[in-house]
Amino acid sequence: MKRKTKLLDIAEALGVSTGTVHRALHNHPGVSPMTKTRVQQMAKTLGYRPNLAARYLSSKRNLRVSVNTLQGTTSFWDEVRAGINEEARALVMENVEIEYRTYPRLGEGEEEAFEAALKAGVDGIITFPSRPQSLHSWMRRASRSSIPVVCVATDAPNTGRLAVVSIDTLASGSLAADLMGSFLGGKGKVAVTLSSLAITEHAEKYKAFATTLRSLYPKMQLQESIEDHDVESEAYQKSSELFKKNPDLAGIYVTTEASIPVLNAARDAHLLDKITFITTDLFPALVPEIRSRAVAATIYQRPRTQGRMAFRVLHEFLVEGECPSFQVTLAPHLVMRGNLDFFLQRQSLESRPQRAVRLQSASPELVEYFG
């Protein structure tokens, strides 16, 4: 196990100075093309990897990242932001500044927030592209300026974004289908509500649900899907229609957050106890519905972990220049009445601002930080 190669090793091997090596490796001006290629070549053959500790110590620049997300209509985005915050605070090494830019509604103020982040000259952006097409040009601009962008929850294809962090849509849709089939004994009419088939994630979930249902439970009948376009009234209205047309509906899978209006529509049609609900996400209004077993199960999208992962990927890229993975997909959690309390307790516990700290044989200097 030999010592790691450092700048000085490269410098001595070529008979130059560390300053030159540094400039060559970082494309800084003041190096002849000839020297530059020689340095880069030598760095590669020696397997040079920068010592990050030394780098941090030497340059005190602190990274700035902008987090552009929806305002917390539900708790989902609060959790995402909490996850980002946690992971940022876990980085004791450096100081990462996080600037939160939120917009009130889907697609509203989204471009402005992105533009503001670029104008402010941040080093990286974590964003929820609620309207990918409208952000398209801004994201390409960021890409051209070499400002990495990480998407959370929803992808924005062909925008040059660095990475995307999301729940695996296939696993979600297939799990929902398998559960639905199991709960209903493999027969009956089922339906799906989604935001819009134009959104990749929702289309994929729907497809996975349909495919799995067909292959595992061929006797079940899948009705046409409902698109609510993220409008609650539309969700209520369209699902009311659905229930009217299909009084024998046995189950429904709500892939969006808008499960409450669908539940209310079923309640008003007096079909609540006839229909097995599988919903998405976990928020306060959903808790009593799960507890009363109106909702059989909900697929939790782990917003906090999504936030953590997004920050981690972005930070790793900013610091090391490489990206561990361009697509991080998480397995969803299944929440039913049985394990509901576990998740509720966990949320409330983790949302406490300070970290839980119990000292045990720690170096004395640390005691104070948490007194």
Partner DNA sequence: GCTCAGGCCGTAAACGTTAACGAAGGTAAA
Partner DNA sequence: TTTACCTTCGTTAACGTTTACGGCCTGAGC
Near its own copies in 11-40, by CB under 8 A: 25-27, 40
Question: Is position 95 an interface residue for DNA (rule: CB under 7 A)?
Answer: no
CB of 12 to DNA, least distance (A): 10
Contact 19, 25 (CB under 8 A): no
Contact 190, 173 (CB under 8 A): no
Nearer Cβ to its own copies (70/151): 151
Give the x-and-dash track for 17-46 against DNA (CB under 7 A).
xxxx-xx-xx--xxxxxxx-----------
CB of 124 to DNA, least distance (A): 17
Nearer Cβ to its own copies (15/364): 364
Nearer Cβ to DNA (34/356): 34
Cα three-residue angle 240-279-307, rounded to 5 degrees: 135
Compute the distance between CA of residue 353 and CA of residue 363 in angstroms, rounded to an integer: 24
105 binds, among its own copies, DNA, none (CB under 5 to 8 A by kind): none
Contact 151, 186 (CB under 8 A): no
Compute the distance between CA of residue 142 and CA of residue 146 in angstroms, rounded to an integer: 6
Question: Is position 8 an interface residue for DNA (rule: CB under 7 A)?
Answer: yes
Query: Considering only residues 347-366, where is the footprint of its own copies by CB under 8 A?
Result: 355-366
Question: Is position 47 an interface residue for DNA (rule: CB under 7 A)?
Answer: no
Candidates 78, 123, 168, 201: give the one binding its own copies (CB under 8 A): 168
Question: Is position 113 an interface residue for its own copies (rule: CB under 8 A)?
Answer: no
Alpha helices in 126-183 (DSSP H): 132-144, 169-183
CB atoms within 10 A of CB 28: 12
Number of residues in contact with its own copies, rule: CB under 8 A?
83
Cα dist from 271 to 247, 256, 264, 265, whole Å? 8, 20, 10, 9
- Paired tokens of 153: 């929850």
Which residues contribute to the site for DNA (CB under 7 A)? 3-4, 6-8, 15-20, 22-23, 25-26, 29-35, 48, 50-51, 54-55, 57-61
